[in-house]
Amino acid sequence: MTQRESIELVQQHHPHMREKEIRLLLNRAQDDFCQKTDIIDASFRDVTVKDKRYYFLGSSILKVRRIDVDNNLIPRIHGQLAETDIDSEGL
């Protein structure tokens, strides 16, 4: 179904809604669906620092699936770390 067809279908049931409002709601629903189903998949690169465990990621990152450093998969840490290295600028 095209967006035009979706807009016409919504207008049949809600004739008071304008096309711009419907388009915004359809786009929001599409973004929500893509986020919940993990249909959007992207990767990004960052520079790592030796002996640093905490990195602040951008707000566009929704979920971290895996981390590779020099083509080596980094295992996921479960639970609390025995020691921390968060400085005064950290969390």
CA atoms within 13 A on the CB side of 33: 6
Yes or no: say if 42 and 34 are a contact pair by the CB < 8 Å rule: no
Q: What is the pLDDT of residues 55-77, one digit of tens each?
A: 777 777 777 778 888 888 888 76
The residue with greater pLDDT, 80 or 86, is: 80
14-61 residue pLDDT tens: 999 999 999 999 999 988 888 888 777 777 777 777 777 777 777 777
